Amino acid sequence: MNELGVPTCQNLIGGEWVPAASGEVFENRNPADTGDLIGYFAKSSRTDAERAVDAAARAFEPWRLVPAPKRAEILFRAAQLLVERKERLARDMTREMGKVLEEARGDVQEAIDMAFFMAGEGRRQHGQTAPSELRDKFAMSIRQPIGVCGIITPWNFPMAIPSWKILPALVCGDTVVLKPATLTPLSAWNFVKVLEDAGLPPGVLNLVTGGGGDVGNALLESPVVSVVSFTGSTEVGRTVSTKAAPTFKKVHLEMGGKNIIVVMDDADLALAVDGCVWGGFGTTGQRCTAASRVAVHRKVYEAFVDQYVRQVRTLKVGDGLDPSVQMGPSVSRGQVETVMHYVGVGRAEGATLACGGHALDTGAYAKGFFHEPTVFTDVHPQMRIAQEEIFGPVVSVMPFESFEEAVAIANGVEYGLSASIYTRDINLAFRAMRDLHTGLFYVNAPTIGAEIHLPFGGTKNTGNGHREAGEAALDVFSEWKSIYVDFSGRLQRAQIDTE
Ligand code: UN1
């Protein structure tokens, strides 16, 4: 804490809170008011990352031998501490990331849910037993921990996403080095502190704050790190994949989205409008799952657009700590500039700017990264605003004539995270469930709001085949071992001896 009450938050390496080896720090500022300096964080380098990897490697042997139900007891305690600290952690999150307080509480709640769920896995982590093809022989499979996990997390869910990755790793018996997004180190720090206070042994979880170029690369290139789990853009994901390839580590990637809500002509229109507003502008559109595309049946297109735009115009933009505000700032200047850039692209492509379209930078907005909620209508599915992930408060609305055309539009992007249909026709709903090429699908609900106990992830350029959350997360953080026990007392040869 300096004389102005601004704290300095350090790395956690091998159970010690330490500054960066270089002694350097970076600032964390509030995106709603850049005059608000939240704290200084360790600006780490490769040296710090390597020390953290060493600490995690040393902690692995004793940790993997702790019985899983005992490891889980620490997770249960962490869940309880998160419940106790929820309000403070949510306020810290809104202050550093900008999402409205109600949503920041939801983000902490997601970490709480994951802590209880993964603690439960301490007494499950079920394997299989199977009959052997030979007499007097037993066959089974068990999950084994893998080793050191390098975890690289984004700023949009600054506590939920670290929890999705760290908690399954810990319950599986792995040790962790966490590199959180440079824009949101405080929520990561708060989460790591909870786990330390819950009694995690030194070195089992290490925190190294700083840039991806230094810290991230050290994790990706380290031969000691066995698993890398990354959430972020498809572009960075490709680099992660390439850098991790020479050491054959397991790589779990969770990347971009261009999610769609399909509104059929028989939909409950008011319900669909509510869903599209929440799906498109919740978290200021900064969710991988955001409904950045809306396709509407021509028969109800005009009525939908009219109600949708009217409702979007009423959204109150401002500081997420103000309870009357519905949409906070973008997380950074770079992010709001991306939004402004795409508004220009949409105009140039000939889409109709139905509302919004401007950055907000006067009066109460002057010191933050605010932008109006923006809707483009009459968008063609091939336009860049309908193809590329913007990660901001911009939604593209497109008309279609038939269900088949809607499916083609929905699938006609490089991403495959989430999709939704609003319809009362059960047959269409089931066809859409089957035919839309995404990892998440909703009926009569928006594309956001996945719950933690089902697999989370996407197809195509959204992911690389893995899933996080739910039991599926265990597959990322553990390895199968198949075990055969022959109790016949004689040599039996599989595939050869038939008696
Ligand atoms: C993300 O945007 O990266 O399903 C995660 C949802 C949230 C998680 C989003 N539970 O929208």
- What's the CA-to-centroid distance between 287 and ligand 1, angstroms? 6
Q: Which CATH number fits domain 260-443: 3.30.70.1070, 1.10.3720.10, 3.40.1530.20, 3.40.309.10?
A: 3.40.309.10
Express each pLDDT in 208-252 by its tens digit.
999 878 899 999 999 999 999 999 999 999 999 999 999 999 999
Site to probe by mutation for ligand 1, drawn from 448, 451, 452, 468 as the one with most ligand atoms within 8 Å of Cβ, is 448
Catalytic machinery residues: 254, 288
Q: What is the pLDDT of residue 215?
A: 95
Of 346, 417, 412, nearest in space to 375 by CA: 346
Probe ligand 1: pick from 288, 292, 331, 462, max atoms within 8 Å of CB? Answer: 288
For the chain, give every domain's residue range: 8-255+463-482, 260-443
The radius of gyration computed from the CA coordinates of the chain, to the nearest angstrom, equals: 24
Q: CA nearest 481: which of 125, 66, 104, 101?
A: 125
CB burial of residue 317 (10 Å; 0-12, 13-18, 19+):
buried
Answer yes or no: is the C-beta of 467 below 6 A from any ligand 1 atom: no
Q: Alpha carbon 25 to chain centroid distance?
A: 26
CATH 3.40.605.10 fits 8-255+463-482, yes or no: yes
Atom 11 (ligand 1): residue with closest C-alpha? 448
pLDDT for 338: 98
Question: CA angle, 310 as apex, 307 and 314 as ends, to 5°?
Answer: 135
For tokens 């956690």, the residue is: 12
Report the atom number in ligand 1 closest to the C-alpha of 287. Answer: 2
Task: Kindly give the number of the ligand 1 atom that is closest to the alpha carbon of 254.
Answer: 3
Q: How big is the chain, counted in residues?
A: 499
pLDDT at 67: 98
Using 70 as the pLDDT threshold, list the residues of the chain that sit under it.
Answer: 1, 499
131 strand-pairing partners: 138
Q: Residues 6 or more apart from 231 whose CB is under 8 A from it?
A: 152, 153, 154, 161, 165, 253, 254, 255, 288
485 φ/ψ angles, rounded to the nearest 5 degrees: -120, 120
In angstroms, the CA 139 to CA 143 distance is: 14
448 lines ligand 1 (CB under 6 A): yes
Report yes or no: 187 and 92 within 8 Å, Cβ to Cβ: yes
Q: Mutate which of 233, 456, 462, 467 to test ligand 1's pocket (most atoms within 8 Å of Cβ)? A: 456
